[in-house]
């Protein structure tokens, strides 16, 4: 057993209002430099929709992530044998057209325009060439366009969906959409790290954050192709790739990452989990339908004495183990099984989990009149506006049962709380729903509390982090009192 | 005297600049070591430039390397006319491949606004030098035929005289103008090398072939990390 700590994150999609505040917070801090204009380390997509970059989920085209080949794991885009042929021209490399060409407007022309009969206009210009451009796409042009023939209809996840369901999702009266905010998943089995020919990408051992050493990156572009989530980006100006750093300078000082801190809907949770690094490969070789469970099994119970002993033996500091016991991500993912990874079939084991959205039908239009079509308070999850099989494609590699379980529990909590606070649902009905969802009243209250009432300190539990030389947060400083820090023991110069 | 300046002094100056600046750049401005790929900005024509150029130029450089280090073996190989023919034709084919790629690359850089935006003066100088180099190389192959034969008695000893610090320019004094230009331009390329994106050649990712799939870095040794807690 090789126990390691990983900072895991969770987005509660039932709470996301799609305001893009997270994206703006991130952009203002990290990606407002030349070469990064097109990058959105945090972006918010509308689902069904084509996403950013366009149709990124289509790995037949983008060749991201892993595949099982002859009983072994292989990257779709690269391998040691493909290093030489891929290095001059990477056939799986997306181009800027797959994202969008960033632009600005010539605002000064509004002010400097000569007096005339027409309103002055500010023409759009490319932020790369400076020339006038015809804007064709932006980072969120599918925003709110569930049902759109251009965006929603081309959602990759709809391809293998039952034609009836697909048609229903595009019907104007019945269309549904929800938001999918995305950052780097800081995967347990990252494709970007495995693909980097220079070894510039690495996973930090202590907290699992995946970073890209700018000094070592040489623009071979393999990470861009290998990441199935397209969350490594190529800076065309510096000739280096860049990615979400989970705001590690903020985390190391105990603050939530910018996108978490600014989240208006308070949908974002962060906390560390303990996992067994020895079992990653075996888990990644499981079949699609087994993958959700395989990934969950990697995450260890931080309250189990055997796990605690294993963590100590593997050198996980006590304070980090204690932090894992308070992790909200642990509760949602393992204790309640309400959160699922996005596209686990890419086999990178993303450490960003999603609570799938509950989109119950409250009323329907019939003959031009909107009527309540449900006999109970909320319609059954099977009749939800976003079909379970669609959510199953996104969050469970087609294992719809996992989504159904998560949604049923969310619904049971709603019914239970309705019973407690309003009382128009009988105790019998509420407890039956809880029982069917394998949930106790105490659990339901805990889920409700962490979902609806939790303060930022409960939502974002930052473990003590190993900053260079900042041992005092983790360990007894007296143990190290003669040390001068990192690796060396040079006594101070005194005459 | 002029010959000495061009074919002994200049090569040494170029090599000196090459070593000093590449090392200084690697140590002090490591961030600038990058292939500076523009494939992200335009990735269709890119294939027809980058791929033929790299394969072509690598093969040609490999042949030059062979001629320099084992001229006798090459001469022995050339003893049979058919083999001489095959060698010359192979070299020329790869040179033409490199030229095709280079022309495509230059055209692409010039015509696609986004790619042009990321090109600086150094890139254009480099393209000019590379173009001269490949064109003179092809010119020599066509008009001063059987280079693989006379190389062994002129260019190869001249280069060896340079490498052994006993420069003897008499080997190249009588060579045709195009050959001289080719040799001179080669050392110009060596001299500008450390100032251009060519430095990416020095950081080709061979460790990738031997390293473990995943890279995990610890801020301090793991065994120590657990001791205090």
User: What's the rounded mean pLDDT across residues A107-113?
Assistant: 90
CB < 8 Å from B in window 441-470 of A: 466-468
Contacts with B, A 78-117, CB within 8 Å: 80, 83, 87-91, 93-96, 101
Say if residue A199 is exposed, middle or buried (CB neighbours under 10 Å; 0-12, 13-18, 19+): middle
The CA radius of gyration of chain A, in Å to the nearest whole number, is 24
Q: What is the CA radius of gyration of chain B?
A: 21
Over residues A175-180, the mean pLDDT reads 92
- Asked whether the predicted pLDDT for residue A76 surpasses 90, the reply is yes
Rounded to a whole number of angstroms, the distance from the CA of A41 to the nearest CA of chain B is 17
Instruction: Report the candidate in B142, B172, B170, B140 with the shortest Cα–Cα distance to residue B155.
Output: B172
Q: List, for chain B, all residue ranges whose pLDDT scores fall below the cut of 50.
A: 224-229
Q: Which residue of A has its CA nearest to B202?
A: A218
**Shortest Cα–Cα distance, A63 to chain B (Å):** 16
CB-based contacts of A467, cutoff 8 Å, min separation 6: A252, A473, B219
Nearest CA in chain A to B47: A89
Residue with tokens 């062979």: B66
Inter-chain touch A83–B219, beta carbons under 8 Å: no
> How does DSSP classify residue B13?
H
What residue has token string 């073996």?
Answer: B73
Three-state secondary-structure class, residue A285: coil
Q: Which residues of A touch B200 (CB under 8 A)?
A: 218-219
pLDDT for the residue numbered A477: 58
**pLDDT-derived band at A33, boundaries 50, 70, 90:** confident
Above pLDDT 70, what percent of chain A? 93
Which is more confidently placed, A311 or A378? A311
* Interchain pair A487, B220: CB under 8 A: yes
Q: Does residue A486 surpass a pLDDT of 50? A: no
Tell me the pLDDT tens digit for each residue of A119-128: 899 999 999 9
CA gap B96, B56 in Å, rounded? 7
Those residues whose C-beta lies under 8 Å from the C-beta of residue A369, and which sit 6 or more positions away, are none
Cα–Cα distance measured from residue A197 to residue A220, given in angstroms and rounded to the nearest whole number = 7
Q: Chain A contacts of B59, Cβ < 8 Å?
A: none
pLDDT band for position A478 (cuts 50, 70, 90): low
Number of Cβ atoms within 10 Å of the Cβ of A162: 12
Phi first, then psi, for residue A435 (nearest 5°) are: -65, -45
Interface test with B, best of A4, A65, A74, A89 (most B CBs within 10 A): A89
| A134 near B CB under 8 A | no
Q: With beta carbons under 8 A apart, name residues in chain A contacting B219.
A: 204-206, 466-468
Determine the Cα–Cα distance for residues A243 and A223; give it in Å rounded to an integer: 10
Beta bridge partners of A46: A179
Taking an 8 Å cut-off on Cβ atoms, the answer to whether A199 and B205 are in contact is: yes
- pLDDT band at residue A441 using 50, 70 and 90 as cut-offs: very high
pLDDT digits (tens, 9 = 90+) for A316-360: 999 999 999 999 999 999 999 999 999 999 999 999 999 999 987
Average confidence (pLDDT) over A194-211: 94
Closest residue, chain A, to B211 (C-alpha): A199
CA distance B134 to chain A (A): 19
Shortest Cα–Cα distance, B32 to chain A (Å) = 8
Q: What is the mean predicted confidence (pLDDT) over A140-145? A: 93
Q: What pLDDT does B146 receive?
A: 83
**Residue spans of alpha helices (H) in A239-350:** 248-251, 258-262, 280-284, 291-298, 305-313, 318-325, 328-330
Interface touch B205/A83, C-beta < 8 Å: yes
Euclidean distance between the first and final Cα of chain B, in Å? Answer: 74
Q: What span, in angstroms and rounded, lies between the C-alpha atoms of B8 and B12?
A: 6
Chain A residues closer than 8 Å to B54 by CB: 88
Q: Which of A131, A193, A316 sits opposite B226 (nearest CB)?
A: A316
What is the rounded CA–CA span in Å between residue A397 and residue B31?
40
B36 chain-A contacts, CB cut-off 8 A = 219, 239
A-chain residues within 8 Å CB-CB of B37? 219-221, 234, 239
Strand partners, A12: A355
pLDDT higher than threshold 60 for residue A177: yes
Distance from CA of B171 to the nearest CA of A (A): 37
CB pairs under 8 A between A and B: 162
HSE of A31, CA atoms in CB hemisphere, 13 A: 28
Element (H, E) at B14: helix B10-28
Distance CA A327, CA A353 (A): 13
| Rounded distance between C-alpha atoms, residue A272 and residue A323, angstroms | 7
Chain-chain contact of B225 with A83 (C-beta, under 8 angstroms): no
Say whether A474 and B42 touch across the interface (CB within 8 A): no
Start-end of H helices in A299-369: 305-313, 318-325, 328-330
- Which residues 166-225 on chain A approach chain B with CB closer than 8 angstroms? 189-190, 193-194, 196-199, 201-206, 214-221, 224
Chosen for mutation from A78, A91, A97, A218 (greatest number of chain B CBs closer than 10 Å) is A218
Question: In sequence order, what are the residues at sequence separation of 6 or more whose Cβ sits closer than 8 angstroms to the Cβ of residue B48?
Answer: B100, B101, B104
Cβ–Cβ of A88/B55 closer than 8 Å?
A: yes
Helix spans in B70-204 (H): 71-77, 81-111, 113-117, 121-143, 147-150, 155-163, 170-173, 177-192
Residue A347 contacts residue A366 (beta carbons within 8 Å): no
What per-residue string of b and e applies to A259-287 under the rule 16 or more CB within 10 Å gives b? bbbbbebbbbbbbbbbbbbebbeebbbbe
Cβ-Cβ contacts under 8 Å, B53 against chain A: 88
Look at residue A294 and tell me whether its pLDDT is greater than 50. yes
- The complex's ipTM works out to 0.91
How does strand A124-126 pair with strand A178-182?
Answer: unpaired
Task: Calculate the CA A177 to chain-centre distance.
Answer: 18
Cβ atoms within 10 A of the Cβ of A99, count?
22
Which stretches of A20-123 are DSSP H helices?
21-30, 59-62, 83-88, 108-112
Q: Identify the residue among A6, A212, A219 best suited for mutation to test binding to B, counting B beta carbons within 10 A and taking the highest.
A: A219
- Which residues from B are below 8 Å from A94, CB to CB? 40, 43
Instruction: Establish whether the linkage from the previous residue to A48 is cis, with ω within 30° of 0.
Output: yes
Q: Write down the mean pLDDT value for chain A.
A: 91
Domains of chain B in start order, with CATH, are 2-227 (1.20.950.20)
Give the separation between CA A419 and CA A402, rounded to whole angstroms: 26
A388-413: average pLDDT = 96
């Amino acid at each position: 057993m090789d126990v390691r700590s990983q900072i895991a994150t969770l987005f509660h999609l039932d709470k996301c209002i799609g305001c893009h505040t997270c994206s703006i917070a991130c952009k203002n801090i990290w990606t407002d430099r030349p070469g990064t204009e097109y990058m959105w380390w945090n972006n918010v997509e509308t689902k069904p929709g084509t996403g950013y970059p366009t149709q990124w989920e289509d790995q037949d085209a983008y060749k991201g992530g892993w595949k099982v080949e002859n009983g072994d794991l292989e990257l779709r885009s690269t391998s040691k044998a493909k290093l030489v042929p891929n290095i001059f021209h990477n056939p799986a490399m997306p181009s800027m057209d797959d994202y969008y060409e960033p632009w600005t407007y010539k605002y000064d022309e509004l002010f400097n325009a000569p007096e005339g009969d027409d309103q002055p206009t500010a023409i759009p210009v490319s932020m790369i060439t400076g020339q006038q451009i015809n804007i064709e796409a932006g980072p969120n042009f599918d925003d709110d366009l569930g049902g759109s023939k251009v965006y929603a209809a081309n959602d990759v996840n709809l391809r293998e969906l039952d034609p009836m369901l697909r048609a229903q999702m595009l019907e104007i009266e019945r269309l549904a959409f929800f938001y999918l905010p995305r950052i780097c998943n800081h995967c347990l089995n990252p494709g970007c790290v495995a693909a980097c020919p220079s070894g510039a990408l690495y996973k930090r051992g202590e907290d699992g954050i995946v970073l890209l050493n700018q000094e070592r990156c040489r623009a071979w572009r393999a990470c861009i192709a290998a990441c199935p989530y397209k969350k490594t980006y190529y800076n065309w100006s510096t000739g280096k790739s860049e990615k979400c750093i989970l705001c590690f300078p903020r985390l190391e000082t105990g603050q939530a990452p910018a996108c978490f801190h600014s989240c208006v809907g308070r949908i974002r949770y962060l906390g560390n989990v303990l996992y067994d690094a020895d079992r990653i490969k075996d888990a990644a070789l499981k079949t699609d339908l087994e993958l959700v469970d395989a990934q969950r099994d990697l995450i260890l119970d931080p309250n189990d004495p055997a796990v605690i002993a294993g963590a100590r033996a593997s050198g996980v500091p006590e304070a980090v183990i204690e932090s894992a016991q308070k992790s909200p991500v642990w509760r949602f993912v393992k204790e309640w099984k309400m959160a699922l990874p996005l596209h686990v079939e890419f086999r990178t084991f993303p450490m960003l989990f999603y609570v799938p959205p509950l989109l119950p039908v409250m009323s329907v239009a019939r003959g031009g009149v909107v009527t309540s079509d449900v006999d109970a308070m909320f319609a059954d999850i099977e009749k939800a506006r976003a079909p379970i099989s669609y959510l199953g494609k996104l969050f469970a590699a087609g294992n719809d049962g996992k989504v159904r379980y998560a949604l049923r529990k969310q619904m049971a909590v709603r019914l239970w709380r309705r019973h407690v606070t309003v009382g128009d649902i009988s105790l019998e009905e509420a407890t039956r729903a809880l029982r069917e969802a394998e949930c106790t009243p105490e659990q339901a209250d805990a889920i409700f509390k962490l979902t609806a009432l939790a303060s930022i300190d409960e939502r974002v539990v930052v473990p003590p982090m190993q900053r260079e030389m900042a041992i005092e947060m983790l360990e007894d400083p007296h143990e190290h009192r003669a040390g001068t820090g990192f690796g060396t023991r040079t006594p101070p110069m005194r005459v | 005297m002029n010959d000495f300046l061009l074919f002994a002094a200049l090569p040494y100056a170029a090599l000196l600049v090459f070593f000093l600046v590449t090392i200084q750049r690697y140590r002090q401005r490591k961030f600038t070591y990058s292939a500076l790929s523009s494939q992200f900005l335009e990735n269709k024509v890119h294939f027809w430039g980058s791929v033929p150029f790299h394969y072509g130029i690598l093969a040609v450089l490999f042949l030059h390397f062979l001629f320099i280090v084992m001229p006798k073996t090459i001469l022995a190989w050339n003893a049979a006319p058919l083999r001489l023919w095959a060698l010359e034709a192979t070299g020329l084919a790869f040179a033409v491949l490199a030229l095709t790629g280079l022309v495509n690359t230059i055209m692409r850089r010039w015509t696609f606004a986004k790619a042009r935006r990321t090109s600086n003066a150094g890139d254009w100088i480099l393209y000019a030098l590379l173009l001269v180099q490949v064109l003179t190389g092809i010119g020599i192959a066509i008009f001063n035929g059987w280079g693989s034969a006379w190389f062994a008695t002129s260019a190869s000893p001249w280069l060896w005289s340079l490498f052994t610090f006993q420069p003897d320019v008499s080997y190249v004094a009588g060579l045709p103008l195009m050959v001289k230009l080719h040799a001179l331009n080669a050392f110009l390329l060596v001299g500008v090398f450390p100032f251009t994106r060519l430095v990416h050649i020095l950081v080709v990712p061979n460790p990738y072939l031997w390293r473990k799939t995943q890279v995990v870095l610890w801020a301090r040794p793991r065994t120590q990390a657990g001791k205090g807690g």
